[in-house]
Amino acid sequence: MALITPGPLAGQISGRLASTIFSHNKGGPYVRNGTIPTTSTTEYALAAKAALQAASATWQGFTAAQRLAWSSFALENPVTNRLGKSITLSGIAAHNGLFCRLTAAGLAPIAAPPIDPAPSPLLTLVQTCDRGLTTFDLVYTATPLAATHYLWIQACVNSSPAVNYVENRLRLIGISAAAQASPFDHEALLTARLGAQVDDQSVTVLVSVLDSATGLLSTPLRDTALVATTA
């Protein structure tokens, strides 16, 4: 699904044009292909669906006061979409997002919205991808992380050096242990999620700090490294 910003000629466009569908939601206008839906049965898709079902079931059990608290949290904490536009989520969307994030990390969900701000980001991040020395490392500061903080690692593998925009290809590959010290070996996570790497591929990582007490993420740091084999 692609996000769009209509210009003065298009204005508010909605409906179907051939195989293209124009619509809008709380996040603004978007365009997508009018394809027949398919069911994904991958391990990651099934886990995501199960987490969302659990989050929705939890929301159904909330009191009116709890739902109001989440709605107030969402109103006071807008998020930024891929186009850099600030949008306000609904209370259930804010709750479900944090619920699913903590579940993905194997952490206990929270019933009340966070009071504390998001954690501070990493100060520096350098990635190494060397198959010969078997050195796949994320070197970062400050280190170690705080007791309730984890590395939240997204990544993608790219075979074409001409491609710079990879945000739509980034996938969550895993989460570190709490209070993780630098360096962190992420090779096993990369291989399990994206397959074995080969020389001259580029690996882009987007690394945030996750606070287990709130489910909030810091601003991420990004780094790209070429896969090489050093004898």
pLDDT digits (tens, 9 = 90+) for 12-55: 565 666 667 666 665 566 676 766 666 667 888 888 999 999 99
Q: Do 54 and 7 fall within a single domain?
A: no
pLDDT for res 183: 95
For the residues 92-110, what does the mean pLDDT come to? 95
119, part of any domain: no
Q: Do 181 and 87 fall within a single domain?
A: no
Q: What is the pLDDT of residues 62-75, one digit of tens each?
A: 999 999 999 999 99
113, part of any domain: no
Report, in this order, helix, strand and coil percent for the chain, each rounded to 5: 25, 30, 45
114, part of any domain: no
Q: Of 163-172, 175-184, 194-203, 221-230, which gets the smallest average pLDDT? A: 163-172
CB atoms < 10 A from the CB of 202, how many?
Answer: 18
177-198 core/surface letters (b: 16 or more CB in 10 A; e: else): ebebebbbebbebbeebbeebe
Q: Do 151 and 211 fall within a single domain?
A: yes
Q: Do 16 and 47 fall within a single domain?
A: no
160, part of any domain: yes
| Summary mean pLDDT of the chain | 87
117, part of any domain: no
Per the structure, the complete domain to which residue 8 belongs is given by 2-33
Q: Do 149 and 198 fall within a single domain?
A: yes
Q: Do 11 and 71 fall within a single domain?
A: no
27, part of any domain: yes
Give CA angle at 135 (133, 137), nearest 5°: 165
Number of domains making up the chain: 3
Q: Do 133 and 215 fall within a single domain?
A: yes
109, part of any domain: no
0.85 exceeded by the pTM? Answer: no
118, part of any domain: no
